[in-house]
Structure 1
């Protein structure tokens, strides 16, 4: 019992350290790369490239573990060690722009690849009979992201952008130590992996991608709406410093703004189960896309940093509601045998949106400027919201409760 408790604490610490490091890496990606003289277009292209690579590396890493090529714990630490080595190169050496970007792509790819492995780790622990409080751990991760963003904003103002790689070097070294101390029941690991592999093989015998699209046409239209809504969401998040600089914003104020958005997610997500008992998921999704549009509109209209802070508060009804509501919504409109594909379609839609937003956002930022980029973003967000409204379905009788 005592060992289980210790493992629960270690897992929570893993989420805290990971998301604190990730806030420095992705939350301040534009700040760091701009400080290195990289253009907006190149920043956008770089972030888009990372998303594309991660689409392939994440399933490859999971497959390596499932096929017993490498143990999960070992793979996580190898990836983290690679991240630290590349981060040290950024911190200690002045690299040419293209080499710097290649190293940066490697670091972000590693960090994005390891994230689902941490989720798998929690799942494996539960299969061993060890109960991990994943919800609490993930919530603490969000809080760590928020706090780290706020602190890092002040550090960047005082010490410059060079401090950013140091932040995730320290975070990942501590993360390696924590993961290394995990004690995984080796005698059960192969049985669990074999069971998961059999489950995946069974799922793969279900509908193909095109058959799924043909059967769930309205749901796929919903996914298109999600892509458009998250297009603007991603642009604002990844080019945040460029968004607030014209209205007098600074790195420390950006950190505070990110902190506000991340911290307001916690109560909304914690209360979601209560909300969905009173309001169905279809209505909650409609509410979330309206809040997304309002958040994007207020960001566009902002003339000072206070208005940005107010816009960030709207995250409580936008992202914080959409993520859990979309999971339950899929369960309500997709048949049980197709649930895995249904859930993955939403994830793929958000990932695809990130790729498009990062690539197009950087180019548009250089071509038309912040004002017109945000104006385009508002239009795209509203159109996406209207598509979501038009494609939302009522709960079907033949799906799981």
Structure 2
């Protein structure tokens, strides 16, 4: 009988894999405090970049002579690109678990920096702008789900990570950036957002690279076979029907958010404000989110998470209605306090929900799907319809539409979660998070 010429090679390969796995598992873990500081820094720099890119993008595009409808289309194309990119990228991440998520995020940031640099040199070219926004959607706007997945990987490895506080730090930096960048835009012009984004993105990439990456289990071949395709997407939501309903509600809530956020320059202009006031409105909304995000992990130990999520959905609608009735800048500034029970409460709980609403092997994709439903589909609907409304109707119609969208999102959230009774535990500061295993 002929000896197997590959016998020794195979054993040698398996031995090498075992040694590498053992070395990874035995790698010293940084302190919980250090990891939480790292993740807070990641959130801070991401949201600084996000404001630099999105805070005055409408103003920049208008200066390049794009109409409201064209701007709505560009922002919708960006969100659509994010919709398609996130499941693909998350599936790639799950199928290549040896590649730490932080390196995939780094690659996305680099691509975004290049695109923003190119954007500075195009005029009123719809084709060029469309291509740039497609790539931006697939890069920087798709990276948030992976950043959230990094936190969940750390939490699921047994390290207590305070997501709410970290995200609150992100909101704080978003607020500070709004005030500073709003003043810089008034002084230097809206083009200042281009170099500001590139510098902040470079800093973000450095901090992400330094982030702790926990060891992850390798996926077996059966799991690989289950990934990908429209059939698997349908199968995914069939397996997790409560999660599917939650994503649908998130779509309408973020359409409401798009009406109020993307077109805030038009709302401020109607009330006699300028670019500085636009930045101030966004900064107030972001600043007041900080306490509730930091306390979210504590809140879910006092109040059932499903009620908090339903409450937050209701306040999305109320904020749209009160913005509709705002007759001056002072009232508009005051309405931003409703960001506390609306977006501020929803965001950390949605991340916890996505992590615990599905099986262990589906967690990265769950983060992607929540982001797709909200920041993707919801923003597409809001940006497209909002642009058309502004071109053919008025700001008042836009704001009332935000209220209607918020009420639909609230109704779906109420119907989906009111009978939900399966809480669970995660290592997010050792507190309960809303979970459901099936249905």
User: What TM-score, normalized to structure 1?
Assistant: 0.81
Q: From the superposition, tell whether residues 197 and 349 of structure 1 become closer, same or farther in structure 2 (CA, over 3 Å).
A: farther
The alignment status of 1:174 with 2:198, answered yes or no, reads no
Deviation of residue 182 (structure 1)?
A: 5.5
The alignment status of 1:162 with 2:186, answered yes or no, reads no
Q: 1:88 — aligned with what?
A: 117
Q: Matches of 1:103 and 1:224 in 2, distance apart?
A: 28
Local SS of the residue matching 1:271: helix
Q: 1:297 — aligned with what?
A: 321
Q: From the superposition, tell whether residues 381 and 338 of structure 1 become closer, same or farther in structure 2 (CA, over 3 Å).
A: farther
Q: Matches of 1:46 and 1:284 in 2, distance apart?
A: 34
Asked if the contact 2:68–2:391 (Cα under 8 Å) also holds between the matched residues in 1, the reply is: yes
Q: Matches of 1:296 and 1:370 in 2, distance apart?
A: 12
Deviation of residue 223 (structure 1)?
A: 4.9
Q: 2:261 — aligned with what?
A: 237
Q: Matches of 1:337 and 1:71 in 2, distance apart?
A: 18
List runs of 5+ in structure 1 lacking aligned partners: none
Q: 1:142 aligns with which of 146, 171, 175?
A: 171
Q: From the superposition, tell whether residues 253 and 394 of structure 1 become closer, same or farther in structure 2 (CA, over 3 Å).
A: same
Q: From the superposition, tell whether residues 343 and 136 of structure 1 become closer, same or farther in structure 2 (CA, over 3 Å).
A: closer
Q: 2:396 — aligned with what?
A: 371
Q: Matches of 2:30 and 2:289 in 1, distance apart?
A: 31
Q: Matches of 1:293 and 1:378 in 2, distance apart?
A: 5
Q: How many residues align?
A: 392
Deviation of residue 305 (structure 1)?
A: 0.9
The alignment status of 1:382 with 2:418, answered yes or no, reads no
Q: 2:77 — aligned with what?
A: 49
Greater CA radius of gyration, 1 or 2?
A: 2
Q: Matches of 1:119 and 1:269 in 2, distance apart?
A: 14
Asked if the contact 1:286–1:389 (Cα under 8 Å) also holds between the matched residues in 2, the reply is: yes
Q: 1:24 — aligned with what?
A: 52
Q: From the superposition, tell whether residues 134 and 97 of structure 1 become closer, same or farther in structure 2 (CA, over 3 Å).
A: same
Q: How does 1:279-294 map to 2 (within 5 A)?
A: 279-294=303-318
Deviation of residue 251 (structure 1)?
A: 1.4
Asked if the contact 2:288–2:337 (Cα under 8 Å) also holds between the matched residues in 1, the reply is: yes
Asked if the contact 1:230–1:353 (Cα under 8 Å) also holds between the matched residues in 2, the reply is: yes
Asked if the contact 1:269–1:321 (Cα under 8 Å) also holds between the matched residues in 2, the reply is: yes
Q: From the superposition, tell whether residues 390 and 39 of structure 1 become closer, same or farther in structure 2 (CA, over 3 Å).
A: same
Deviation of residue 241 (structure 1)?
A: 0.6
Q: 2:418 aligns with which of 382, 393, 396?
A: 393
Deviations along 1:233-265, one digit per CA (max 9) or x if unpaired, are 221111111121111122111111111111211
Structure showing the higher helix proportion among its residues: 1
Q: 2:337 — aligned with what?
A: 313
Cα root mean square deviation, aligned? 3.8
Q: Matches of 1:397 and 1:181 in 2, distance apart?
A: 36
Q: 1:76 — aligned with what?
A: 105
Deviations along 1:353-401, one digit per CA (max 9) or x if unpaired, are 2221111111121111212221222233334434444454223369868
Asked if the contact 2:52–2:196 (Cα under 8 Å) also holds between the matched residues in 1, the reply is: yes
Q: From the superposition, tell whether residues 202 and 393 of structure 1 become closer, same or farther in structure 2 (CA, over 3 Å).
A: farther
Q: From the superposition, tell whether residues 378 and 137 of structure 1 become closer, same or farther in structure 2 (CA, over 3 Å).
A: closer
User: What TM-score, normalized to structure 2?
Assistant: 0.75
Deviation of residue 49 (structure 1)?
A: 1.1
The alignment status of 1:260 with 2:284, answered yes or no, reads yes
List runs of 5+ in structure 2 lacking aligned partners: 1-27, 425-434
Q: Matches of 2:338 and 2:114 in 1, distance apart?
A: 38
Q: From the superposition, tell whether residues 394 and 40 of structure 1 become closer, same or farther in structure 2 (CA, over 3 Å).
A: same
Q: 2:86 aligns with which of 43, 58, 72?
A: 58
Q: Matches of 1:183 and 1:283 in 2, distance apart?
A: 34
